[in-house]
Structure 1
């Protein structure tokens, strides 16, 4: 089991051929807010309702404090996803609700700016998260939930090796409505990470 002091170190950076992942910092706000705003219509159907000040500096600062608290407490790790070629912010991926003890499990969630969708960048990011979760954090299981008609997310999880396990009825409140979600999972001994990305 990973000891708690790991989470008091600076958040790690994960590097691949097409994307790299690092923890968000305050200087990312302007680029993050611009990407989220231009992608609003693309993202809103799949996310919790946006607050009136969703993209403000103060809301972003609060978000970073929450990320840091989760990381320090060993309950979550949040990354921004960047295009390795240009260094541009493309999206985000988070490991949350990390449970230790007999579970050794975490949930992953992600978002991608509309202009970067369909280019395989989030699949590359998930493929970086998998060895980080199982080898560095020594977890046993990763879970992800997605709305059944979110074909992009379903395809992403299946390409990454996740297996569908069932339907979670009225699971999360998304865009103002309680929505069913498909539960997908990947366990350590069944994973197969294609050698398309390298971890660093």
Structure 2
């Protein structure tokens, strides 16, 4: 598992890369620690040196996805320039880029984790809820900057479109779901 420079990444990084690929492609519950250890090419002791167990690895996996998503979202918002409406629409540009960058798109890794980790006390559920709240807060902030009369309502509408685009792209129900969601978002913003 070499990186782009041809060097072998440190063990922790290899474990996280393996978990990211396996958890997203196969599911968290279907992927055991042994599979991650094997895919990462590390010893069991090395795994436990970096992670206390699977729950710790799940949290690190979700955190890594959130960090990458936030970086992409920030970049898309910055590239949208100074127009507040373009910056709000950039959320959908980021979604399209994220969805099309996946080898095999399986939807939102956070929603998938919530569905798989049914125990209401699992620490990942709190983390996922926090990430989703953060996205809502960011969209609200962007909606407020547009000067619309009710940024809360617009935020709720855009979140419904956003999550719907993810589901419909995952199931293949709507061709070009992310592009159509962006068009819908543009119309909602114009009417707000």
The structure that has the greater radius of gyration is 2
**Structure with greater proportional helix content:** 2
| TM-score normalised according to structure 2 size | 0.32
| TM-score normalised according to structure 1 size | 0.31
**Structure with greater proportional strand content:** 1
Higher relative contact order (CA closer than 8 Å, sequence separation 6+): 1
